[in-house]
Amino acid sequence: MNESQYHQMVDDLLIDIEEMLDDCGADIDYESASSILTMIFTNGSKIIINKQPPLLQLWVATKFNGHHFNFKDGLWIDERTGVEFWSFLNDAASKQAGQTVTFSKV
């Protein structure tokens, strides 16, 4: 993947998340600016998703910890746990929302 492809893929992913937030099953607000998407939960906690262009990674910070995702075989995979991005996001958002949250990419 080259840098241009990387930027397009992550931009598309962030837009997908924004569009899914209305149908995810929880009351989650969001702010989007400069390739950073901040999901804001009713309890005040946040999930922040942003680009990391020098490494061609997608970084996610949750209430509990941070994760770095690399694009492998058509999927964003957490370099530490091996978990696929959409599965991770469903789990992290569910924990922070205190209810099941489902994004439709899974």
Q: What is the CATH number of the domain that holds 60?
A: 3.30.920.10
* Structural domain count, the chain: 1
Query: 102 in a domain, yes or no?
Result: no
Residue-level pLDDT at 23: 82
Residues spanned by the domain of 52: 3-95
* Residue 26 pLDDT: 87
| Residue 105: predicted pLDDT | 60
Question: Which residue is listed with tokens 């992290």?
Answer: 92
Distances 91 to 21, 24, 84, 103 between C-alpha atoms, Å: 14, 12, 11, 10
pLDDT < 50 stretches in the chain: 106
